[in-house]
Chains A and B, each alone.
Chain A
Amino acid sequence: MIITVTKPIEEIMTNLEGYKKVFVVGCAACATKCQTGGEEAVNNMIKELKKKNKTVTGSVILDTPCDIRIAKRDLAKSREANESDVILVLACGAGVQAAEKVIEKPVLPALNPLFVGTTERIGVYNEFCSVCGECILDKTAGICPVSRCPKGLINGPCGGVVDGKCETDLTKDCVWVLILNKLKKLGKEQEIFKDYFSPKKRAKPKVVNRAGERR
């Protein structure tokens, strides 16, 4: 999912300067999981806004605010939202922009989206996918070097591996050591480095169809 953190409240309040009536939008998907955009987070935000003398006209937690159809159905038609000066969105950037598309009001982000990752527990998130568009997990024992090696080295490790740890942070495992160990466990270690990976396509179309093609 998309890992998000809440922006400092001071930054949010600075952005809200000049607006009185605020409508708050939450996210029932990723941001709920991160506890940055679910019911509790929305209620806390409303409390903060009221403390700072803002009028909260209402709030809604959209199932998936990044789905423009849902934003259209549940946000665009909301009377409270349309009577507000500004929409504050507790979702990732895609959620904020879906709101922008469906309502003629200024929209503001309340979160900083970090990456696509996994949750170990609340507050421990790993960047495990950089959405590169050409997944190679089938060749790397299900462990992603594109996102988990700080240099994104896909043909194998650098020379900075120290006792299995990464040269950029000796408290973190070198992803290539993890891949080797996993392949060994699976009895497939002879497969490591078997393939040459040619340079990755870094450019992806900005609007795609179901097949991932430009449209």
Chain B
Amino acid sequence: MNKLCKAIVDNRFIITAELYPPKGTDIAELMRRADIIGPLVDGVNITDNQRASMRLASIAICHLIKDKGYTPILQMTCRDRNRIALQSDLLSAYVLGIENVLILSGDHPAVGEYKEIKGVYDLDPVQLLTTARTLESGFDLSGKKLKGTPKFCLGAVVNPTSNPLELQLLMMEKKVKAGAQFFQTQTIFDVERYRQFHDQVKHLNVKVLAGVTLLKSREFIGFLKNLPGVSIPEDVVKRVEAAKDPLKEGIKICGETIRELKKFADGVHIMAIGAEDLIPEILKNA
């Protein structure tokens, strides 16, 4: 049982973090970051052509960090592959020892580097979750029998700050029914609001890891605000803006957020977006 599955079963506070494959073949920096966060967390998400930009494949990096003894979480979007490729990649992940898969729709090409391409979306996330469970039953989507079956720990995403929240809650339920065992959320800053969300989804009996992001600078806040589905409360923005050392204040805020979340949440998912080196310090503060 890998570290993430074990943390889920043991019912302890779960910490995951995220890394982004490079555009190009130079993975030295990425692996250096993996060495910093890998030992500290229960799972490392490797993004899948994030923000609809072309990157080195998630599955390759997952394999490399798994070899180093860390626990990868393969992110898999529905944007770039049809059902043949998705199923094939799920089987490939399994034989490489990658069991944790986070399934998401994926940022639309319209917000990325290739605005004029056709997004595939042959399957949607609920269907892809169902597909992974179908493979586990020994068959593929065409009903053919598999020679050797995989086993996955499946995750999905939810956005607790989305409005109307009602839709997200209902969707989450549908994803649980389709096989999601854990969720990672869009970045949250308002812990009180998150507590309400946490209470609303408790009955689903799945692990929900609250997304936290390090506010590393004033400019970065501007960037974050432009991402789909991110909302940052004004008082948090003011704290960073008024600080003499915005980065230090950002680390403090992030640490405080995690400390508060530890009191009731199932875990956190840290998206440091380029500042992964600071994750040890954030965790010390938490």
A: residues with CB less than 8 A from B are 150-164, 167-169, 176-177, 180, 192-193, 196-199, 202
Tell me whether B110 and A193 are in contact (CB under 8 A): no
User: What separation, in Å, do the CA atoms of A35 and B166 have in the docked complex?
Assistant: 42
Tell me whether B178 and A196 are in contact (CB under 8 A): yes
Neighbour of B126 across the interface among A151, A155, A159, A168, CB < 8 A: A155
The stretch from B37-45, B57-65, B89-97, B155-163 touching chain A is B155-163
B: residues with CB less than 8 A from A are 78-79, 83, 104-108, 110-111, 119, 121-127, 130-131, 141, 157-159, 162-164, 166-168, 170-171, 173-174, 177-178, 186, 228-229
Supposing A199-B123, A199-B127 touch, asked if A162 and B162 sit within 8 A by C-beta, the answer is: yes
User: What separation, in Å, do the CA atoms of A196 and B171 have in the docked complex?
Assistant: 11
Neighbour of B162 across the interface among A152, A155, A159, CB < 8 A: A159
Tell me whether A167 and B111 are in contact (CB under 8 A): yes
Supposing A156-B171, A177-B167 touch, asked if A199 and B122 sit within 8 A by C-beta, the answer is: yes
Tell me whether B108 and A156 are in contact (CB under 8 A): no
Q: Which residues of A contact B119 (CB under 8 A)?
A: 150-151
Supposing A159-B229, A167-B229 touch, asked if A177 and B126 sit within 8 A by C-beta, the answer is: no
- Please name the residue on chain B nearest to A170 by beta carbon: B228
Q: Which residues of B contact A197 (CB under 8 A)?
A: 127
Tell me whether B126 and A156 are in contact (CB under 8 A): yes
Tell me whether A151 and B105 are in contact (CB under 8 A): yes
Q: Which residues of A contact B124 (CB under 8 A)?
A: 151-156
Tell me whether B105 and A155 are in contact (CB under 8 A): no
Q: Which residues of B contact A199 (CB under 8 A)?
A: 83, 122-123, 127, 131, 141
- A sample of 25 inter-chain contacts (CB < 8 A) reads A151-B119, A153-B125, A156-B126, A156-B170, A156-B171, A158-B104, A159-B162, A159-B229, A160-B107, A160-B229, A161-B164, A161-B168, A162-B162, A162-B163, A167-B111, A176-B167, A192-B167, A196-B126, A196-B130, A196-B177, A196-B178, A197-B127, A198-B130, A199-B123, A199-B131
Tell me whether A156 and B162 are in contact (CB under 8 A): no
Tell me whether B108 and A167 are in contact (CB under 8 A): yes
Q: Which residues of A contact B229 (CB under 8 A)?
A: 159-162, 167
Supposing A151-B119, A151-B121, A167-B228 touch, asked if A159 and B111 sit within 8 A by C-beta, the answer is: no
Supposing A153-B124, A202-B122 touch, asked if A168 and B111 sit within 8 A by C-beta, the answer is: yes
Tell me whether B122 and A151 are in contact (CB under 8 A): no
Tell me whether B163 and A193 are in contact (CB under 8 A): no
Neighbour of B174 across the interface among A150, A155, A158, A167, CB < 8 A: A155
Neighbour of A192 across the interface among B78, B108, B163, B170, CB < 8 A: B170
Closest CB in chain B relative to A180 CB, distance in Å: 6
- Please name the residue on chain A nearest to B177 by beta carbon: A196
Closest CB in chain B relative to A138 CB, distance in Å: 19
User: What separation, in Å, do the CA atoms of A193 and B171 have in the docked complex?
Assistant: 7
Closest CB in chain B relative to A93 CB, distance in Å: 18
Q: Which residues of A contact B163 (CB under 8 A)?
A: 161-164
Tell me whether B110 and A150 are in contact (CB under 8 A): yes
Supposing A161-B167, A192-B170 touch, asked if A153 and B228 sit within 8 A by C-beta, the answer is: no
Q: Which residues of B contact A177 (CB under 8 A)?
A: 164, 167
User: What separation, in Å, do the CA atoms of A167 and B162 have in the docked complex?
Assistant: 11
Tell me whether B108 and A168 are in contact (CB under 8 A): yes
